[in-house]
Each structure stands twice: as C-alpha cells, then as structure tokens.
Amino acid sequence: MGEYFGEILQKALSRRDTLKLALFGGAGLMVGGFVNSLAKTSQPLSFKTIYPNSEDRITVPEGLDYKVVIRWGDALDNGENLNWDAIYEDGPTDQDIERQKKCFGYNCDFVGFLKTPDGRVLLAVNHEYTNPELMFKDFSAPTPNQSKLMLEAHGLSVVEIKRKSDGSWEYVRNSPYNRRITGSTPIEITGPARGHNLMKTSYDPEGKEVKGTLNNCAAGITPWGTVLTCEENFHSYFAGNRDQLQDDLVKGIHQRYGVPSTRSANYGFHNIDNRFNINQEPNEAFRFGWVVEVDPMDPQSKPKKRTALGRFKHEAAMSVVAPDGRVVVYMGDDERFEYIYKFITKSRFNPNNRQANMDLLDEGELYVAKFNDNLMGEWILIAKAEKNPDGSYRITPNPNLPQEFKDDPALCFINTRGAADALGATKMDRPEDVEWNPVTKSVWAALTNNDRRGTSGNSPIDYANPRANNVMGHIIEIKEDNQNPASLSFSWSIPILCGDPNSFDPNRKLIIYGQFASSDVPAISAPDNFAIDRLGNVWIATDGNPSSSRLRKNDGVYVLNPFTREFKMFLSGAPGCEICGPEFSDDWKTFFCAIQHPGESGWQTRWPYDGTANVPRPSVIAVWRRDGREIFA
Ligand code: FEO
Ligand code: CA
Ligand code: CA
C-alpha cells in the first residue's frame, strides 16, 4: 500500500471513499454482501468506566467486588502449600519440587470455566512461563533445583471451585478433579505428524509420546468440554548451537521458528535434561508448538498433542460448530509478521455422544488467512489430513506448495509457517486471540502490536495492518461469507485501532469504528485475549499497557459493545502484570481473569499481599456485582 495510514484515515473520516470507510467497520455499508447493521435494541454497558492507572491494587467499577480464587503455590491436594518465601530466600529443595507437582503453577494465563456431569465447577488454568527474577533472590544462573521447580510450575491446572454466599469463589482442596499437568507429564502425539522421523528422539524412538507441555498461553474449550491448551513461545526453552546441526531440513525449520533461544538461559532446562539441548536432541523442539487437548472431566486421561492443527507459536484455539456440524478452530500465531489459521474437522460434532467427538481434531483441513486490500479475504488450504483404517495418514497438500511439502506432506503440519510463507498468506501484527462471536456472527482477532512493521527489511503496511511501528495494536473483525465459519472467503474491517484518545499522533490515537475516540474514553494498548458475553459484547484483556512505549499504566480489561459502539474499561491490574483468561461463569454473574506476572519488568509490588508471602504471586481472581445481577447488566 503506497499510502500512509493517516491518509487512509483522512479519507475514511471525510467519507469520500466508501471502501476506506468500510476499513473501519463503517455502518450500513455493503461490503462483500455483508451489512454491518446496528442493533438498536442492544443493551448499553451499564457500569461506569474506570481509567488506566498505576495503583498497586486491582481496580474495578463502582458496585463490584473482586477476590483472589487461587494463587501460585496453593496446594491442590491435602498437602502443604509451596514454601514460596523459603524458595525465594534459599532456593528450592527436592521436596519443594515434589510439592510444585501438586500445587498451582506459575503465571496463570487461560482460564476456562467448566461444569462436570455431576454439577461441580472446574477451572482449567494455563501456566505459561516462570519469572526466575521474581521467584528467586539469586537467579542470575538457574541452579538445577531452580530449573526443576520451574519445569514443574509450567503446564496447566484443573481445579474445582465453589461459590460462597457473598458472591466470591474459593477452590476445593483435594477434589478428585484437581490435577496438574507440567513440563514433564507424559503426553501422546496424535494426528498426521505422529511417528514422523522429525518427531523421534533418543528417549522416544517411535515419535509418539512427549514429556510435558510448555508455554501454555491461551486456550479454548471445545463443544464436547475438553480444553485445547496452546504451546506458544516453546523456542524459549531450547539451548545449543544451530550452526552445528548436520541436517539442513532440521536447521532450516529451527531457524524459521527461532530455535534455539537466548531466553533458555533464564530457565536452564538444558542443564537438567539433554532434550533441551538441540545439539544433543535436535528433534525435541519439533515436539512442541502444538495444540494439546486435555479432558478435565477425566483426571486419569492422557493429554494429546493434536498435530493436525499445525505447529507454530499457538496463542489460543477457539472452536465453533458450523451449520453443517463440522467444527472450526480459529488460531493465531503470536509473533511479528505471522499468520491467522483455521482448522475444519472432517467429521461432524455429535452433541449426543461425547466419546464420538474425542478424536475429531485428528482429521481435517488446515487453512491460513489472506487479507486483501479490497477488504475481502480468503482461507488458503495448507493441507488435508485423513486417517486410514490402519492408523496411518493420507495427507493432501495444497498443490501450489513447493516440492518438499509434496515429497513429505507431514511437513505441512511440522513446518506450518514454511507452508504458509510459500502460499502467500498475510503477515499480521502478532495474532493473539481469534474468536467467534455468536451474537455478531463474526470472528474477532486481536493483533497485539508490531513495532517492526514498515521498518527496513520488514513488511510494509497493508490495509489489514495499516500502521507502521504499530506499538498500540488493533482488532480485526472477520465476517465469514454467509456468516458460516466453514466458509473459505470473507470480508473484514477494523473496529478498533488501539491507543490514547488524547494522543496527537494518529499512529497512537484510539480510533473506534473509524472515529477518533472522545477524550473521556479510556486508553487501551496491546489487546491480547477476548471473552464474548451473552449479548455479544467483546471483553478485551491487554498485555502491554505498562511499557514505556505505550501507556505506562497497568494492564486492564476493556469492553466494546459492537452494537452501541460504547467502549469502557472494566478492570485495572496490579503493577507489571498482564491480564489473561477473561472468562464468565455459566450464569454470567462472575467474571474471572488471571493476573499474570505481577512485578515483571521492575514494577514494584507484592500483590496479592496475602499476608503470608513476601513475593508477588500470579493468581486467578473472580469479580462480581454486589447486587447479584449479571456482570454486564
Ligand atoms: Fe502468551 Fe501471545 O501471549
Ligand atoms: Ca496471550
Ligand atoms: Ca501476551
């Protein structure tokens, strides 16, 4: 695109150019057959907005309360809590490492609310990564025990919770559903990459089972009640020297995914297990970067890495049932200039037989998105995977792919980024959550930021990523043809370009549906995860407000009403935290979220100040209205 973003905006705002007005979701315009109609009867957001702040506490609007539900180190069994203060002062003992396997993990991210058949309530919570600089007084070079504790603090927790009479929630110790899955839990590899040569290691010569899941960022709940937990920045854990690898294919794919990473020094996993050294186990990194399906209803069940959904830095995996019964899973690859994907199952969802759905995600078609400058777009097939009766796979790659993907079609799933590059997909500004909104019947995608857009050697701006040096981020709405998630073409618009309404720089200014936001609208940057409420309001959790290049305020939760176009701030977090896992209870009366890494990047806090801890502790909180009404009422 030859124009500067400001020129596009100018045209949009002057209403001389209908196409460009539509870029921002202009009302009533026909774009590719889609009418963005305003629902005049929709319910306005009733709560009084708060504003970004730097206070050392959680802030919620008037009339609401919040309370911590569970924190890092809280015991899920009947044993002792983790001894977080002693671990900080003296480092972890062998016993502490054993306790971490039974205690709530670090850096909670995704939060999923589930009901068991016998009416109990469970939370499934991801533990994305660890902050050695906050967990340990002496962290400069992790000791083996520090590394072992951190490996066990990763993964996810399933925990039963109960509501109390005052509207708060507490977790249930020793519930039969409580479970930890960590960086060392055995996990089965399923789908088209199972048993592939690149999936084999010395400890697993058949390429069928991995130790653990790592960097579980966001996730999604399937229509059959399993959790799709997503491995995001898995490269962070691998050390070694890529130039010393003999195999050019291995070397090339590792390079495309940033393996190894200098971040591995913070974790030191390669010091406790050779599998994290790419020179000792060149293939172990291929066994991460997947969507992992966990059945929280069966604590004995073995989690499964579903390779048909592709390998990349998975932010989340949000599913929806298409009108014909096939299940569509939307996914973002969170790195600068990466892609938005979707997977369509081969078979149909069976609402009457849970068991019949348990392997639905092993067969289907993987697509990547191309956003055209005419505000239309298409889903480009990467490959189709089907299972033979003997368990082997028939893989049909896109015929336009280079020969290496035709010769070895499982590479479409192992080197998904390479396949998407070859097919000309659109490089986006760090795709985070991509989620179907059942009320607007459209897909919402968060593009958190990209400070390299338009810089030398990188992709220039385009209509879908219209800001150079996009530090504030934006949100795209994808309108699938016929409002059918299984469609292969769509139109799109940009409801929000994030920023501060009081900025004078159009690149940093908050723009909602093409209009400069008025000065009383709260500033927002770095949108990350969504939750959609019963009315179709889009709840947006942020990860990046505190940065000196953005708002220098705490991260928060914001709500966009896509019908009235109101935009308010609902919650402000603790210093240095990001907010993750926005989620609702099934009666919509509680809002849950994760307060991840309070105190990161030098922000001073010991939140949640629970009286027993001298260190900050990542936690899940619940928010409710004192009048007992639905949270958005
Ligand atoms: Fe882990 Fe993309 O956030
Ligand atoms: Ca995220
Ligand atoms: Ca994030």
C-alpha 411 chain-centroid distance: 24
Residue 346 falls in which region: left (phi positive, over 0), alpha (psi -120 to 50) or beta: alpha
User: What confidence score (pLDDT) does residue 24 get?
Assistant: 75
Q: What share of the chain in percent tops pLDDT 70? A: 94
Q: Per residue in 397-452, pLDDT tens?
A: 999 999 999 999 999 999 999 999 999 999 999 999 999 999 999 999 999 999 99
Confidence of residue 27 (pLDDT cuts 50, 70, 90): very low
CB atoms within 10 A of CB 85: 13
Q: Per residue in 86-111, pLDDT tens?
A: 999 999 999 999 999 999 999 999 99
The stretch 188-196 carries a mean pLDDT of: 98
**Cα distance between residue 171 and residue 162, in whole Å:** 6
SS3 assignment, position 555? coil
Confidence of residue 17 (pLDDT cuts 50, 70, 90): low
Atom of ligand 1 nearest to the CA of 529: 3
The stretch 184-207 carries a mean pLDDT of: 98
Please name which ligand lies nearest the alpha carbon of 431. 1
Q: Does ligand 1 come within 6 angstroms of the Cβ of 580?
A: no
Confidence of residue 16 (pLDDT cuts 50, 70, 90): very low
**Cα distance between residue 22 and residue 4, in whole Å:** 17
Atom of ligand 1 nearest to the CA of 109: 1
Q: Does ligand 1 come within 6 angstroms of the Cβ of 281?
A: no
User: What confidence score (pLDDT) does residue 613 get?
Assistant: 87
Sign of the C-alpha dihedral, residues 514, 518, 520, 526? positive
Q: Does ligand 1 come within 6 angstroms of the Cβ of 232?
A: yes
Indicate if the pLDDT at residue 28 is higher than 50: no
How close is the Cα of 580 to the center of ligand 1, in Å? 9
Q: Per residue in 545-567, pLDDT tens?
A: 999 999 999 999 999 999 999 99
Atom of ligand 1 nearest to the CA of 218: 1
User: What confidence score (pLDDT) does residue 36 get?
Assistant: 42
Confidence of residue 204 (pLDDT cuts 50, 70, 90): very high
Please name which ligand lies nearest the alpha carbon of 555. 3
Atom of ligand 1 nearest to the CA of 430: 2
How close is the Cα of 472 to the center of ligand 3, in Å? 13
User: What confidence score (pLDDT) does residue 19 get?
Assistant: 53
**Please, what is the end-to-end C-alpha distance for the chain in angstroms?**
43
Atom of ligand 1 nearest to the CA of 334: 2
For residues 224 and 23, the model is more confident at: 224
Q: Whose CA is nearest to atom 1 of ligand 1?
A: 217
The stretch 608-631 carries a mean pLDDT of: 95
User: What confidence score (pLDDT) does residue 8 get?
Assistant: 58
How close is the Cα of 530 to the center of ligand 1, in Å? 12
User: What confidence score (pLDDT) does residue 611 get?
Assistant: 84
Cβ atoms of 213 and 109 closer than 8 Å: no
Atom of ligand 1 nearest to the CA of 313: 2
Confidence of residue 23 (pLDDT cuts 50, 70, 90): confident
Q: Per residue in 106-157, pLDDT tens?
A: 999 999 999 999 999 999 999 999 999 999 999 989 999 999 999 999 999 9
Ligand 3 (single-atom ion) residues, CB below 5 Å: 528, 543
Please name which ligand lies nearest the alpha carbon of 577. 3
Point out the least confidently predicted range of 9-23, 397-411, 497-511, 544-558. 9-23
Q: Does ligand 1 come within 6 angstroms of the Cβ of 315?
A: yes
Indicate if the pLDDT at residue 40 is higher than 60: no
Q: Does ligand 1 come within 6 angstroms of the Cβ of 333?
A: no
Residue 197 falls in which region: left (phi positive, over 0), alpha (psi -120 to 50) or beta: alpha
Indicate if the pLDDT at residue 4 is higher than 80: no
Please name which ligand lies nearest the alpha carbon of 216. 1
Please name which ligand lies nearest the alpha carbon of 580. 2
How close is the Cα of 567 to the center of ligand 3, in Å? 21
Tokens of residue 3, six digits: 């124009």
Max mean pLDDT among 5-19, 39-53, 572-586 falls in 572-586
How close is the Cα of 119 to the center of ligand 1, in Å? 32
Atom of ligand 1 nearest to the CA of 432: 2
Indicate if the pLDDT at residue 61 is higher than 80: yes
Q: Does ligand 1 come within 6 angstroms of the Cβ of 432?
A: yes
How close is the Cα of 128 to the center of ligand 1, in Å? 8
Atom of ligand 1 nearest to the CA of 215: 1
Q: What share of the chain in percent tops pLDDT 90? A: 92
In the block, which residue shows the tokens 């305003």? 38
How close is the Cα of 41 to the center of ligand 1, in Å? 35
The DSSP secondary structure of 376-434, one letter per residue, reads EEEEEEEEEEEE-TTS-EEEEE-TTS-HHHHHSTTHHHHTHHHHHHHTTPPPEE-EEEE
Please name which ligand lies nearest the alpha carbon of 430. 1
Listed residue (349, 387, 342, 348) closest to 365, CA to CA: 342
The stretch 563-580 carries a mean pLDDT of: 97
Report, in angstroms and rounded to the nearest whole number, the Rg of the chain calculated over CA atoms: 23
How close is the Cα of 333 to the center of ligand 3, in Å? 11
